[in-house]
Amino acid sequence: MDATGFIKERVDLFKDFTAERIVQLVDGSLVRSFETNEAIAHQGAEATHFGVVLSGTVTASAVTNGTRQPLGQLKAGDTFAEAALMTGNPLLADFTAESHCEVLLIPVSLFQSIIVAEPSAVRRISRTMADRTKMLAADPAKTKAALQQGNDPYGLKLKGERLEKILVINVGSSSLKYSFYDTTDESCRAKGLVERIGLDSTRLKHRGPKGELKRDLGKGDHAAAFKAMIAELTSKETGVIGSPSEVSVVAHRVVHGGEKFTEATLLTDELVAEMEKLNPLAPLHNPVIIAGIREMRKLFPAVPHVGVFDTAFHHTLPAYAFLYGLRTSSTKRKRCVATVFMGHHITTLHCGQPNS
C-alpha cells in the first residue's frame, strides 16, 4: 500500500479527508526511511514536520540529569510532533527508530494550511494530546523527563555526588596536553601544552584563571614535561591547586582500545598490560601514551586513573553509520565498493561485472 492509501485507511486523523486532499499532503511531504537507533527528531528542537509512522516502530524518550527515560512507543499509523506544532513549543522528546521504519514527514506549512483547517482533524489531535498528557501525568518520572526545561538535560556539565578535581592528560609523541577541572568552581580551570618534547626549544604554554604564560624549557623527556605541568598547576602565580594531592582523579586519552576496551575504564597494572598488547594498532601513539600512564600513576599513586579510548565511540555506531557504498567506474569495469569500519577492522568489498 502506498503512502496515500495507507494514511487514508490506517491513520484516524485523515479519515475524513478527501482523496484529493490526501494526495496534496503526500505530494508536498517527504517519505524517509530510518534504521535501528537512528534519530528522527530531537528533544528541545523546533518542530518543523508532523510525523506519521508508515512502518516499523519509533521510540519516544527524554533525558533528564543524564538518564534516558522511555516515554512511549509509536507503531505504524501513529503520529508525533502534533503538540509542538499546535503550541509552538519545542519537542518534548527524542524520537528514535526502534527498528527499520518509514516515516511521512509533513512540513509545518502543510500541517497549518491543510490539517489544522479541518475541524475533525483538530478534534482528533486534541484527543491525542489529551491522552498523552494523561499518560505522562500517571508517571512522575516521565513527566519530569518530558517537561524538564533545564539547560543541561544530557548531564554534560561536570557535577556529581562527589566533589572532584580532575586532571585530563593527552600524551603525544612529542607533546603533552593537559586540562584541569574543578567541579565545585567552573571558573577554576586550567589547560596547557608542552610541545617539542625531546627536541631543542621545548616550550610550555599554560592558561588559567590568573592569566596565560609561555615558558621555554630545557630539552627533556615526557617525565620532565609532567613535572613542568605539575609545577604550573601548583604555582602561586599561575596555579589552581596548592599541591598534587588535591587532584582526585586523572583521566588519560588513549587512541586505540581495539575490541576489548569499549568504554571508559579504571586502569590497573593488569589492564595497562592488556592495553600494551594493542600497540600495533596505533604504533605511533599507544606506546608513548602507555608510558605516560605508567609515569603519571607514579606521580599520582593515591588516586584513580581512567582510560578514555578514541575507538570506544565507534562501538556505539549502528550499522547504517559505518557501512556505505561508493560507486567507482573505469574503462574496463564498474563496481560498487562497500567499506566497513568497526573498531579496528577496515574491510573493502568489491562487486560488479565488466561493462558490456
User: What are the tens digits of pLDDT across the range 288-310?
Assistant: 999 999 999 999 999 999 999 99
DSSP-based three-state secondary structure for 235: coil
Q: For the chain, report the end-to-end CA distance as a whole number of angstroms.
A: 37
Residue 352 has pLDDT above 90, yes or no: no
Rounded Cα–Cα distance for residues 47 and 95 (Å) = 12
3-state percent helix, strand, coil for the chain, nearest multiple of 5: 30, 35, 35
Q: How confident is the model at residue 327 (pLDDT cuts 50, 70, 90)?
A: low
Nearest to 106 by CA among 31, 218, 204, 212: 31
DSSP code, position 164 = -
The reported pTM is 0.61
% residues pLDDT > 90 (the chain): 56
Judged by DSSP in three states, 262 sits in coil
Query: Which one has a higher pLDDT value, 144 or 190?
Result: 190
Q: Per this entry, what is the length of the chain? A: 356
State which H helix or E strand residue 212 sits in: strand 211-216
Residue 2: what pLDDT? 85
Q: Mean pLDDT lowest for which of 48-57, 61-70, 143-152, 210-219? A: 143-152
Long-range contacts of residues 83-90, Cβ cutoff 8 Å, at least 24 apart: 83/129, 83/132, 84/46, 84/47, 85/47, 85/50, 85/111, 85/112, 86/116, 86/125, 86/129, 90/43, 90/44, 90/45, 90/46, 90/47
Query: β-pairing, 249-254 with 305-309?
Result: parallel
Strand order in the sheet with 333-342: 323-329, 333-342, 345-354
Reply yes or no on whether the pLDDT at 351 is more than 50. no
How many of the other CB atoms lie within 10 Å of CB of 298?
Answer: 10
State how far the alpha carbon of 92 is from the alpha carbons of 48, 69, 124, 132, in Å: 14, 12, 20, 12
